[in-house]
Amino acid sequence: MALLVLLGELATSQRSINAVQRVEPGLKHVLSQKSLVYGAPVYLRIFKAERRLEIWLQKDDGRFAFVASHEICSMSGVLGPKEKEGDLQAPEGFYEFEPGAMNPWSSYHLSFNIGYPNRLDRSLKRTGGLIMVHGHCVSIGCFAMRDGPIEEIYALVQAAFLAGQKSVRIDIFPFVPVPDQVTRFRDHKWFHFWEDLWVGYRYFENQRKVPPFTIAGGRYLVAPL
């Protein structure tokens, strides 16, 4: 029987313990070179078109610093948010997950549930669930990583939770809104939805702080700079 240990709401298994032990020394070394602390609050960003997941850690001044970028090796669907169960879409939007979302005995090595559907999704009657970031590089609507990267992501998130972070934001964008891409997709059916997300993207680019937002009228409304 697999070892399962409960640390408050955060579960660990022998698999997750071994994974963290493998990657923790290297992560601590990398973070020390960046004047960052293992266990500092984490912020995650995903860019679907670029197939990229970014990890950011909070500095002493409250701003976030870039740590690493990992390839999303498998992801189904097309650009645009998830709307219903079985559409094979990966979500887009501002999501948040707590320690209970961590799965150290996942069928896909290690995983965490991103928190779809969130409040906006539910207000729009979007269906489906169990959308994960996980390992094993195979996906039907989730964000699949290779096992090495998911171990690093999982370790940093677990360390942040153990150090007291209550929840982790993971913001998912269709692509980086560089001018050429914005122009290319200006007539896309989801363009106005993406414009709301890009306000959050630009907030973070300018402030290096997690963009605060409210939800109204089926839209994300990011606080102005």
Q: Once rounded to an integer, what is the mean pLDDT over residues 157-182? A: 98
Q: Report if residue 26 sits inside a domain.
A: yes
**Domain count along the chain:** 1
CATH code, domain carrying 44: 2.40.440.10
Domain of 103? 4-176
Q: Report if residue 187 sits inside a domain.
A: no
pLDDT of the residue at 189 = 97
Q: Report if residue 199 sits inside a domain.
A: no
Q: Report if residue 206 sits inside a domain.
A: no
Q: Report if residue 217 sits inside a domain.
A: no
d(C-alpha 99, C-alpha 159), whole Å = 11
Q: Is the pLDDT of residue 174 over 50?
A: yes
Half-sphere exposure of 207 (CA within 13 A, CB side): 15
Where in the sequence numbering do the catalytic residues fall?
Answer: 134, 142
At 185-223, the pLDDT tens digits run: 999 999 999 999 999 999 999 999 999 999 999 999 998
Q: Once rounded to an integer, what is the mean pLDDT over residues 46-56? A: 98
Q: Report if residue 184 sits inside a domain.
A: no
pLDDT of the residue at 2 = 45
Beta carbons within 8 Å of 216's beta carbon, 6+ residues apart: none
Describe the crossing of helices 14-33 and 147-162 by its angle, rounded to 10 degrees. 80
Q: Report if residue 204 sits inside a domain.
A: no
What is the pTM for the complete model shown?
0.95
Q: How far is CA 73 from CA 6, 68, 135, in A?
A: 30, 16, 9
Q: Report if residue 211 sits inside a domain.
A: no
